[in-house]
Amino acid sequence: MGALTPTDAVIDEKAVAAQAEQALEDIARIRAETGKVIFGQESVIEQTVLAVLSGGHALLVGVPGLAKTKLVSTLATVLGLATNRIQFTPDLMPSDILGSEVMDQDEHGRRSFRFVKGPVFSELLMADEINRASPRTQSALLQAMQEYHVTITGQRYDLPHPFHVLATQNPLEQEGTYPLPEAQLDRFLLEIDVEYPDFEAERRILLETTGTSEAQVEGVITPARLLEIQGLIRRMPVPESVVEAILKLVRSARPGHGDAFTDSRIAWGPGPRAGQALMLTARARALYQGRFAPSIDDVAALAGPVLQHRMALTFAARADGVSMKDVIAKLVEPLKP
């Protein structure tokens, strides 16, 4: 196929602009519908939707009772995704997630094995309190989250498309929890901190969730439409200045490159997957906010959710009371005008 002529390029730009306008309308409806039942968590809603619009997975971290599970179930309905929920517990087994083979016997007495699919075979998997399962069980999601299929007794089984994992985690250290390994964390596009609601939001929660009825949400888009928006986001242009900002930020977070601040604070830093995550989510954030191209401000805003689970502090930094948020804020400073 030959190169596009100037006329073809103009037509293509107009087509993309029209698709973007329609996507803006769909995203506005998603925000409005989700806001009917989730109060005072605008940034959490935004980042969770961004993860899905970017085609990735998200880990929601917060103390109990902050509507993390409610948000995930609400988004499943609003986005029209078939969903399954897994309550992770210490005794959960990999087969409880992936499925298992059972033996069947026909009317002639012949026996054969049949694979019974587990809850991972859904368009949106809600992994509730994912850090309560053992590392053996957590690892059952590694292949699914990265390669979008699972292998059982040498046989490949493809997952539905789209496929997203939205997991919740309680940050309080307590008995019966297992920290997620680095490989598992890296598969989450974003780690989203769920904070306490502000005063007015909590007032609204009290008034609207303790009566005889609660607001119900409806589906706004379909899985096919979600895939179209995800494709559109990948086609959005990224200015060279934004690409350079992403590269500088990610590379500055890696120790061993002669930066005294990084070397003294960071034990190990993010890999290229962090840059990929910033490229996708910066585009998605621009569209979410009504713009057709990302800016450096988008990179700065998403630095925390993208980087904080892909880095580790040194012992000296922890001993000094330095937090990961402090370190990332320092790394982001050069991006600001």
Give SS3 for 267.
strand
> What does the alpha-carbon distance between residue 270 and residue 254 come to, in Å, rounded to a whole number?
7
Query: Where do runs of H (alpha helix) occur along 159-216?
Result: 182-186, 199-208
Which pLDDT belongs to residue 18? 82
Higher pLDDT, 156 or 1: 156
pLDDT at 172 over 80: no
Task: Share the mean pLDDT of the chain.
Answer: 88
Which of 161-170, 225-234, 256-265, 271-280 has the weakest average pLDDT?
256-265
Which of 15-19, 44-48, 234-238 has the weakest average pLDDT?
15-19
Beta bridge partners of 100: 116
240, amino acid identity: E
Token pair 């992936």 is found at 98
193, amino acid identity: D
Token pair 């925390």 is found at 304
Beta bridge partners of 58: 166, 190
Instruction: Give the start-end residues of each E strand in 16-138.
Output: 58-61, 83-87, 99-105, 111-117, 124-128
The pTM of the full predicted model, rounded to 2 decimals, is: 0.89
Q: How confident is the model at residue 161 (pLDDT cuts 50, 70, 90)?
A: very high
pLDDT mean over 178-185 = 87
Rg of the chain over Cα atoms, rounded to whole angstroms, equals 22
Helix 240-252 crosses helix 272-288 at what angle (to 10 degrees)? 140
Which pLDDT belongs to residue 8? 46
2, amino acid identity: G
Give SS3 for 72.
helix
Which of 163-167, 212-216, 269-273, 320-324 has the weakest average pLDDT?
212-216
